[in-house]
Chains A and B, each alone.
Chain A
Amino acid sequence: MSALAVTQPAGMRPRRLTPARIGVYAFLTVTALFFLTPLYVMLVTSLKPMEEIRLGAILALPRAPTLEPWIKAWSAACTGLRCDGISVGFANSVKILLPSVAASIAVGSLTGYALSFWRVCGAGLLFGALMIVAFVPYQIFIYPLVRVFAFAGINNSILGIVLIHTIFGLPTMTLLFRNYFASLPQELFKAARVDGAGFFRIFWSVMLPMATPMLIVAVILQVTGIWNDFILGLIFAGRENLPMTVQLNNIVNSTQGERAYNVDMAATLLTALVPLAVYFASGRWFVRGIAAGAVKG
């Protein structure tokens, strides 16, 4: 009898490793490897001299690691005729990025605020229209815009590309901020009105401070989006201001003769560095950003 009592189940359920659980881990491990391989290959390739690359074995660690491809990619790789490396593109991208992010968020947040609290005639229509155009492919607008910009004399300039990013960022930014402001209690706005605050005062002193999380999300969204842009920069920035993505494509895809794969991969990594840094630094905010951008309407 006492022996039976000892074997009675008590306390923690014994944990068994079920086949289902092993399957889950196996699936996750294999997929994680699949997702990591490209990054790993980029990294090791960029650290190998060309002789090693010609041997194949893309997964092998570099036997004689060298930083030369990185230096070459940064300052000496050829983009078409000029051979100044991708640093030129980096500088251009920064020049485009900072004003574009600031301008698009400023306009988007103000528009979102005006749409959510102020009963302006046709506000609903404006919002609906902005929501729809967020889905339209750029190709529809590009030719007329090029003509208009050329006419206004801002084609092929930093100003032009900043304006373009602001225009095309407007729907998403407006949706983001309008949805956020719409989730705030209307009483807050009413209280501010009763206190005698006007349109801009409420925006600047009450709403914008409350929208800090959305501002962070918007910055993440716009920094990665604008940095990763290719087509708009290609068309509107002009030969002198081509952003990093365009320069990168030129380096890799317009080389004559044998391609320096190690330099290509170093340049690719350099281009990916900013969004990767934003991504890993922002952590869950990034997820929140795409979720917020995703829930349109």
Chain B
Amino acid sequence: MPLVRHRTASRLAAGLALSPALLVLVVVYLGCTAWTVWISLTSSRMLPNSTFVGLRQYASLMGNERWQVSVANLAVFGSLFLIASLALGFLLAVAIDQRVRAENTLRSIFLYPYSMSFIVTGLVWQWLLNPGFGIEKMVRDLGFPSFRFDWIVRQDMVIYTLVFAAVWHAAGLVMAIMLAGLRGIDEDIWKAARIDGLPPWRVYLSIVIPMLGASFATAAVLLATSVVRLYDLSVAMTNGGPGVASEVPAKFVMDHLFERGNLGLATAAATSMLITVAAVVAPWLVWQSRRTRRAQA
């Protein structure tokens, strides 16, 4: 039966093609996660050991002031960044959707920051926000000698400068996703709304925004993952400073892994990050799969 043999060979090839993915999944993703979680339950410092200490690392993590600052920063940064990027991105998409001139140029301008790295973004904004040379100096030279914009060197304000730079980086992405969503809306809907005599703002508010639920969700999830991963921007822009005022969890993990040599604490922090991500992503995945199932039904 050559046909059967042929089939089996193809089946085998399919299995073979999937083996790298399976290997990566099991060894890297599952294996490394398990290892990290295990270390977080030991008393490891410079080198890993296997002295089980239960959740003691987590307890000391919660008491760690730098970690507390990092988590608080992430919360402030995350919420402001999400809201500001979604709002600005949506407004830009709506404005561009008004059949404006030079649409392509405008789109390019709003999206180009997204093509650059967080390192570049951080360095540029570090330069612009530098009180001695940047915007503050410029406005003072224009004749407002008492103007102050020194947030980047103030402990209480520095986190907002990160938000500023990150919104500049990512708002274009939201715009692109929203614009795709807007362009996907049936043109007859707009015609029907015009015949109904609805003013445009009303159409956006009552009809279009509810229709763009999926676009908003996609953009929000995409931004949220970059929030949890936030590391490069903090390193390049402020290196966590002044003091520890702009520390973030990812940086906390890296520093404790490689500079401070506290594996137990670092892995406990990493595991906490994982749990946070899971808490955000899991509901979204459930929602998504239910939506696709409903679409198929």
Contacts and interface: CB of A to CB of B under 8 A. Distances in A.
Q: Do A and B come from one complex?
A: yes
Interface of A: 20-21, 24-25, 27-28, 31-32, 34-39, 41-42, 45, 53, 56-59, 107, 110-111, 113-115, 118, 120, 123, 126, 129-133, 135-145, 147-148, 167, 170, 174, 196, 198-200, 224, 227-231, 235, 245, 248-249, 252-253, 261, 264-265, 268, 271-272, 275-276, 278-280, 283, 286-287, 290-291, 294-297
A94 to B, nearest CB: 16
Given A24-B98, A286-B115, A297-B288, A141 B36 contact: yes
A297 B25 CA distance: 18
Contacts of B120: 228, 245, 248, 268, 271-272
A125 B213 CA distance: 27
A131 B239 contact: no
Contact of B18 (A114, A278, A279): A114
Contact of B117 (A53, A230, A287): A230
A93 to B, nearest CB: 11
Nearest to B6: A198
B69 interface: no
B117 A167 contact: no
A279 B277 contact: no
A111 B173 contact: no
A136 B271 CA distance: 10
A279 B270 CA distance: 33
A223 B123 CA distance: 21
Nearest to A276: B115
B297 interface: no
A147 B48 CA distance: 10
B29 A133 contact: yes
B95 A28 contact: yes
Contact of A174 (B21, B31, B88, B126): B21
A111 B17 contact: yes
A170 to B, nearest CB: 6
Given A42-B127, A198-B10, A249-B119, 20 more contacts: A20-B200, A38-B125, A42-B124, A59-B138, A111-B21, A120-B18, A132-B285, A138-B250, A143-B39, A144-B36, A148-B32, A199-B10, A229-B117, A245-B232, A275-B115, A279-B115, A286-B115, A294-B177, A294-B219, A297-B285
B222 interface: yes
Interface in B93-128: 95-96, 98, 100, 106-120, 123-128
B188 interface: no
A126 B33 contact: no
B14 A136 contact: no
A143 B36 contact: yes
Interface string B249-260: 110011001100
A294 B6 CA distance: 38
B245 interface: no
Return the 5 tightest CB-CB contacts between A and B, nearest first: A228-B117, A199-B13, A279-B115, A118-B14, A144-B32
A290 B281 contact: no
Contact of A56 (B9, B31, B138, B168): B138
17 contacts: A24-B100, A41-B124, A41-B127, A57-B141, A120-B14, A132-B281, A137-B270, A139-B270, A142-B270, A144-B31, A147-B48, A198-B6, A199-B10, A228-B116, A230-B236, A272-B120, A297-B285
B104 to A, nearest CB: 8
Given A131-B285, A199-B10, A286-B115, A140 B271 contact: yes
Contact of B25 (A58, A129, A135, A286): A129
A126 to B, nearest CB: 6
Interface stretch (B54-62, B78-86, B150-158, B223-231): B223-231
A56 B292 contact: no
B189 interface: no
Interface string B45-85: 00010000000000000000000000000000000000000
Nearest to B9: A198
Given A36-B109, A139-B253, A294 B222 contact: yes
A137 B228 contact: yes
B267 interface: yes
Given A38-B125, A137-B229, A174-B21, A196 B6 contact: yes
Contacts of B111: 279, 286-287
A15 to B, nearest CB: 12
